[in-house]
Amino acid sequence: MTLRLDHLHIKNYRCFEELHIPQFKQINLIAGKNNVGKTALLEAIRIWASEGDSYVVNHILTLRQENDLKKKYSGYESYFNETIEYKEDDKIIATLSINEVLLVLNGRREKNIGSSRENMNGNAIYYPYIKKDKYLDRNLFFVSSDLSFSNLDLWEDIDLSYKKDYVIDALNLVLNGVGDVGVYKNDFVKILQIGDSEAKSLKQFGDGMSRIFSLTLALVSAENSILLIDEFENGLHHSVQEKIWEFIFQMAKKLNVQVIATTHSRDTVAAFGKESAKNEGKGQYLRLEKDKSGRIKPVLYSQEELETAIDLSIETR
């Protein structure tokens, strides 16, 4: 079964009063200034793909540090665009929707929040987030903006499989001569260069290698699914980004992966634009912008419009 996002309609989620993106393609890059909802958009896709899964909803709060572990059910109000006022009854006081998935906030704090695909009487969102040792997203794969090895649990299924060769190929985009890679106790990643007798820590070779390793783990694991990447450029020098986008386009085609990434880097947009031009019809670039009323709207670029904007140094981030 293949998971694909062909459009996105969000209502009342965080900074989005209402947002409609009419189309997504196989490889998608989303840009925009700070505080226009790039990360929130990826969060919404995670919630949609998981059908409002309890662990995903709570994990998002944890990443944002919006939940107070000493205060039960804290932080859920931040999911809703409108101001929340609790009342002394069980009436629904707030809802948000992401395509056909709903999150519902009830009047009493002890009932709090629930989710449903078809109606507003769905499953409760259980507190607290406790699923620490297994990959959270059931139906898609997510790489956050930080440079930590947050998805090493994926390695077990990749090691000793043909996909391990893809990971090594990706590392060789930055460091020539990588012959092998392994994950050891305490999440210690080592690589063995051709001709060397001893493996070395991957972190010894800089943030770029660590970022590529994490990105590729998720990419090759996301076969027939969706990969979300927040702030693609983090840790990556501009000189290697075109090679990485080329690799992503190739792997996405081979493994049937849909990629949705965010950025605020002009270099990332330019590198994406060049590779998108080589893969006609596969890439989609869009910006999130605020209109005069302060509402956030998407602006979709054709390939020609993207190339023109890059050539003329028009703002594309």
Mean pLDDT of 45-63: 86
Helix (H) or strand (E) holding 71: none
Per-residue model confidence (pLDDT) at position 235: 94
Mean pLDDT of 256-261: 98
pLDDT exceeds cutoff 70 at 88: no
Q: Tokens 């998108």 identify what position?
A: 276
**Ordered DSSP codes for 24-36:** --SEEEEE-STTS
Structural fold of domain 8-48+133-311: Rossmann fold (3.40.50)
Per-residue model confidence (pLDDT) at position 92: 64
**Cα dist from 81 to 17, 67, 305, whole Å:** 6, 17, 32
Angstrom distance (rounded) from CA 260 to CA 264: 14
The answer for residues whose C-beta is within 8 angstroms of residue 233's C-beta and 6 or more apart is: 241, 263, 264, 265, 267, 268
Please report, rounded to a whole number, the percentage of residues in the chain having pLDDT higher than 90.
62
Per-residue model confidence (pLDDT) at position 68: 66
Summarised one tens digit per residue, pLDDT across range 178-200 is 999 999 877 789 999 998 989 99
Angle, CA of 73, 79 and 83, to the nearest 5°? 95
| Amino acid making up residue 102 | L
Count, residues in the chain: 317
The most confident of 55-59, 98-102, 264-268, by mean pLDDT: 264-268
Summarised one tens digit per residue, pLDDT across range 290-311 is 999 999 999 999 999 999 988 8
Mean pLDDT of 249-256: 98
Helix (H) or strand (E) holding 97: strand 92-98
Mean pLDDT of 100-114: 64
Q: How far is CA 285 from the centre of its chain?
A: 15
Using 50, 70 and 90 to split pLDDT, how confident is the model at 109? very low
Query: Where do the domains of the chain lie?
Result: 8-48+133-311
Sign of the Cα pseudo-torsion (4, 7, 13, 15, in order)? positive
225, HSE (Cβ side, Cα atoms, 13 Å): 18
pLDDT exceeds cutoff 80 at 112: no
Per-residue model confidence (pLDDT) at position 132: 47
pLDDT exceeds cutoff 50 at 280: yes
Sheet of 178-184: strand order equals: 178-184, 188-193, 200-201
Burial 171-184, CB ≥16 within 10 A → b, else e: bebbeeebeebebe
